[in-house]
């Protein structure tokens, strides 16, 4: 299990990561999600002991520090661009890191890289390089795999393959920390969410909890929408507009009922909205920014 406790990361004098704590349990797939510049890559680099930080990071009880990387022997990682030697073939690149030939050839097979694995990596496309980077991260039966934007440049077939491999590895106990902008893709594999904004964790829970907490939006439709909008504005009720209805939070429903009644507006429809995972993330970030603004 990976455990981060009150981690602060500094680049120069600037604090990029602020008091971050979360855990990645064995066999779990944690999605590290956040807007551009939120600090996802920096958190991953910090876990790998590549930055200056304060706080405590442990892997299976052993502390990782800037100077002690020994707990990382069972960690595979792909951060930013894969570390590939262009004048070596794909296989030669893999051999540099691999300690088990059978395991290495299995990964080549699983990722369907056989057709080009003996060609020099300098001729690889973006997706081919990315697959080689993922293969390197999966070598030597890692306990934890850290993948920064793994689906970058992958076609749909490769994306499905990688997703299948993540599921297979995690079911045998390997844990994953994955950042991705393709939320729909991440949603299919992750078991927990760590949502970050401005270097801070704003949500840290299982995917089921995340959907439950944020699933409290209702669609509202009345006989007089302009008057409804005006009334909700007058009473400072938070809402958003979507095509022909209004979206409100569950917590605002009782106030809205009163407002509609007082203003003689007939409610025609009220139904629970099932948002996409993407909507949930956007709403969480918006709510977080709203609460920050109020402070």
Ligand X SMILES: Nc1ncnc2c1ncn2[C@@H]1O[C@H](COP(=O)(O)OP(=O)(O)OP(=O)(O)O)[C@@H](O)[C@H]1O
**Rounded CA separation 66/52 (Å):** 7
Residues 132-171 that bind ligand X (CB under 6 A): none
In this structure, are residues 162 and 172 in contact, taking their beta carbons and an 8 Å threshold? no
Nearer to ligand X, 91 or 145 (CB): 145
**Rounded CA separation 141/291 (Å):** 43
Q: State in angstroms the smallest separation of the CB of 283 from ligand X.
A: 19
Q: State in angstroms the smallest separation of the CB of 132 from ligand X.
A: 21
Q: State in angstroms the smallest separation of the CB of 10 from ligand X.
A: 10
Q: State in angstroms the smallest separation of the CB of 35 from ligand X.
A: 7
Asked whether position 41 contacts ligand X by CB under 6 A, the answer is: yes
The correct pick among 22, 29, 40, 162 for binding ligand X (CB under 6 A) is 40
Residues 1-30 that bind ligand X (CB under 6 A): 11, 16
In this structure, are residues 174 and 148 in contact, taking their beta carbons and an 8 Å threshold? no
The correct pick among 39, 49, 90, 133 for binding ligand X (CB under 6 A) is 39
The correct pick among 5, 26, 37, 276 for binding ligand X (CB under 6 A) is 37
Stretch that binds ligand X, among 31-39, 158-166, 218-226, 240-248 (CB under 6 A): 31-39
Stretch that binds ligand X, among 36-44, 84-92, 99-107, 185-193 (CB under 6 A): 36-44
Asked whether position 52 contacts ligand X by CB under 6 A, the answer is: no
Q: State in angstroms the smallest separation of the CB of 26 from ligand X.
A: 25
- What phi and psi values does residue 219 have, to the nearest 5 degrees? -95, 135
Nearer to ligand X, 38 or 136 (CB): 38
Size of the site for ligand X (CB under 6 A): 10
Judged by the rule CB under 6 A, the positions of this chain that interact with ligand X are: 11, 16, 34, 36-42
């Amino acid at each position: 299990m990976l455990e981060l406790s009150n981690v602060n990361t500094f680049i120069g004098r600037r604090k990029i990561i602020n008091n971050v704590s979360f855990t990645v349990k064995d066999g779990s797939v944690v999605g590290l999600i956040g807007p551009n510049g939120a600090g996802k890559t920096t958190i991953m680099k910090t876990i790998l002991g590549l930055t200056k930080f304060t706080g405590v990071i442990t892997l299976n009880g052993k502390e990782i520090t800037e100077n002690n990387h020994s707990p990382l022997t069972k960690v595979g990682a792909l951060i930013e661009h894969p570390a590939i030697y262009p004048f070596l073939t794909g296989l030669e690149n893999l051999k540099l890191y691999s300690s088990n030939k059978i395991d290495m050839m299995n990964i080549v097979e699983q990722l369907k890289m056989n057709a080009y694995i003996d060609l020099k990596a300098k001729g690889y496309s973006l997706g081919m390089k990315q697959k080689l980077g993922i293969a390197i991260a999966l070598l030597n039966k890692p306990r934890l795999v850290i993948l920064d934007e793994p689906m970058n440049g992958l076609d749909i077939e490769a994306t499905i393959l990688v997703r299948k491999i993540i599921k297979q590895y995690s079911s045998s106990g390997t844990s994953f920390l994955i950042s991705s902008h393709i939320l729909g893709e991440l949603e299919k594999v992750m078991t927990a969410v760590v949502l970050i904004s401005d270097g801070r964790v704003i949500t840290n829970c299982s995917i089921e909890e995340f959907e439950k907490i944020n699933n409290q939006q209702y669609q509202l439709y009345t006989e007089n929408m302009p008057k409804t909008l005006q009334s909700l504005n007058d009473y400072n009720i938070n809402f958003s507009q979507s095509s022909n209805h209004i979206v409100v939070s569950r917590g605002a429903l009782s106030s809205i009922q009163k407002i509609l009644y007082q203003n003689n507006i007939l409610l025609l429809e009220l139904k629970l909205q099932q948002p996409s995972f993407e909507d949930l993330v956007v709403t969480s970030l918006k709510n977080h920014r709203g609460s920050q603004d109020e402070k």
